């Protein structure tokens, strides 16, 4: 059992899945743990269970005087911003503030493959996990896509590889986090309400490679200028990928094939995952998987059978010639652009959600095949304005997902694509993008059974 946390006084700030897992782990490792969560104790099942273990819990508010108790470390929930008074006060007092992936990295006997980027993380993480099956070391899925990272790390062995999806929120809270292989997919203006500026957002993402050495690897998008800039300041061995040019060294596309260095690996026509953006995810995944010892036949098998992840351009069903797709995980403009560019058929787009201050002008060029917009949520007026400027004649407003799906179908014809790709976070109406996607799928199923 790891001794580095034994006897240390640690505050876990914010529960949810990651906070609870961190508190339990630290308690098992012999730390003196206090949990502070904003949800009132009476409604807080997680806090009640932790207290039964013997962990001190303080619920309902974040009292600043709590920091007078001499904590050496704060493990904060990634969603809590650094502007939160207790977080900024902890930093002022010189207390180390981290997220739970720092704990995972510190205690893991297994090497870590970490994946970040504004878009494509979940698909790439899943691809790498599938590609590493049947290799010498068993892959374990962790992070936003699977089990909390520190929980996976505690039970991992040297015979495992942890495949870990990481966000900028998590990366910002790292000090010594050091993956064996880092994957940096792309960078787009996202989460600026949290990070403030694109430079700060890039700085957070860049932490994925900041502690890597020449013994480690960075797989990166050579077509993305900001990502390339980070890569060329990294000490890791660089593995570039590009869908736009022949790299000679790295992963690239040529004559309808995917190449690794100067050797062809798989024919693009045989890959079942749709969309140009998924080709980037596939190249990144191959680079990471090969580096960690994946077998080429396993990589080929995955590419010829993998149809995508839930809520990410997920094919729901075909009904009366209409094809329904759930892309609820498109929580920013770039993700929706890439989804829209995956189709050349007439499209009915369902979009809208939390207003983070973005304007949506960048979406306009991708609306070329959109004949109807059904919009909802806080951003509905902004999206309607852009759709109008793009020449879309039919713009409809909906309050709920069921109404949106009904309107979309009503204005569709055989051969059309009906696509939920919101370009916004879900938190104005739904707890998670998964809940939003599930509502869409349910609405599609109910509508098509009734008709």
Residue of 292, 299, 298, 221 whose CA lies nearest to 258: 299
Query: Long-range pairs for 264-269 at CB < 8 Å and ≥24 separation?
Result: 265/296, 265/299, 265/300, 266/299, 266/300, 266/303, 266/304
Q: Give the residue carrying structure tokens 């050496």.
A: 72
The answer to whether 60 is a known ligand-binding residue is no
The answer to whether 121 is a known ligand-binding residue is yes
Give the DSSP letter of residue 329. Answer: T
Q: Cα-atom radius of gyration of the chain, to the nearest Å?
A: 23
Token code pair at residue 114 = 């970490």
The residues that bridge with 350 in the sheet, in sequence order, are 374, 420
The answer to whether 432 is a known ligand-binding residue is no
Q: Give the residue carrying structure tokens 């090497």.
A: 111
| Cα Dmax for the chain | 66
DSSP-H helix ranges across 219-295:
225-231, 276-291
The answer to whether 117 is a known ligand-binding residue is yes
C-alpha 419/C-alpha 316 separation (Å) is: 10
The answer to whether 221 is a known ligand-binding residue is no
The answer to whether 157 is a known ligand-binding residue is no
The answer to whether 93 is a known ligand-binding residue is no
Is 276 exposed, middle or buried, given 0-12, 13-18 or 19+ CB atoms closer than 10 A?
A: exposed
Instruction: List, as residue ranges, the binding site.
Output: 117-123
Instruction: List, as residue ranges, the binding site for ATP.
Output: 117-123
């Amino acid at each position: 059992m790891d001794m580095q946390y034994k006897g240390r006084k640690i505050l876990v700030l914010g529960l949810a899945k990651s906070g609870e897992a961190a508190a339990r782990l630290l308690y098992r490792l012999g730390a003196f743990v206090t949990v502070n969560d904003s949800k009132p104790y009476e409604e807080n099942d997680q806090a009640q269970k932790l207290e039964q273990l013997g962990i001190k819990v303080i619920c309902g508010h974040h009292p600043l005087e709590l920091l007078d108790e001499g904590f050496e470390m704060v493990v904060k929930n990634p969603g809590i911003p650094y502007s939160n008074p207790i977080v900024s006060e902890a930093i002022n007092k010189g207390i180390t503030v981290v997220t739970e992936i720092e704990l995972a990295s510190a205690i893991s006997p297994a090497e870590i493959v970490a994946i970040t980027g504004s878009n494509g993380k979940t698909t790439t993480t899943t691809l790498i996990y599938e590609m590493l099956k049947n290799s010498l070391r068993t892959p374990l899925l962790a992070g936003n896509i699977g089990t909390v990272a520190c929980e996976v790390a505690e039970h991992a062995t040297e015979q495992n590889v942890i495949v870990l999806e990481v966000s900028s929120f998590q990366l910002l809270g790292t000090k010594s986090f050091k993956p064996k292989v880092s994957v940096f997919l792309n960078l787009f203006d996202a989460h600026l309400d949290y990070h403030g500026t694109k430079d700060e957002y890039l700085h957070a993402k860049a932490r994925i490679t900041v502690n890597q050495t020449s013994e480690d690897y960075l797989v990166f998008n050579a077509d993305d200028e900001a990502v390339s800039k980070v890569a060329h300041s990294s000490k890791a061995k660089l593995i570039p990928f590009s869908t736009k040019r022949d790299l000679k060294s790295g992963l690239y596309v040529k004559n309808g094939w995917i190449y690794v260095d100067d050797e062809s690996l798989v024919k693009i026509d045989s890959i079942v995952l749709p969309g140009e953006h998924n080709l980037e995810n596939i190249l990144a995944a191959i680079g990471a998987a090969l580096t960690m010892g994946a077998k080429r036949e396993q990589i080929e098998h995955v590419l010829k059978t993998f149809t995508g992840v839930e809520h990410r351009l997920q094919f729901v069903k075909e009904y009366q010639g209409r094809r329904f797709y759930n892309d609820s995980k498109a929580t920013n403009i770039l993700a929706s652009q890439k989804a829209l560019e995956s189709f050349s058929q007439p499209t009915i787009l369902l979009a809208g959600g939390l207003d983070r201050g973005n304007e949506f002008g960048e979406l306009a060029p991708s609306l070329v095949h959109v004949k109807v917009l059904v919009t909802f949520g806080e951003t509905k007026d902004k999206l309607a304005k852009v759709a109008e400027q793009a020449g879309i004649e039919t713009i409809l407003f909906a309050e709920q997902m069921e109404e949106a799906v009904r309107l979309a179908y009503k204005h569709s014809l055989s051969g059309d694509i009906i696509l939920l790709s919101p370009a916004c976070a879900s938190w104005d109406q739904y707890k998670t993008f998964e809940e939003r996607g599930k509502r869409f799928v349910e609405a599609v199923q109910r509508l098509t059974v009734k008709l």
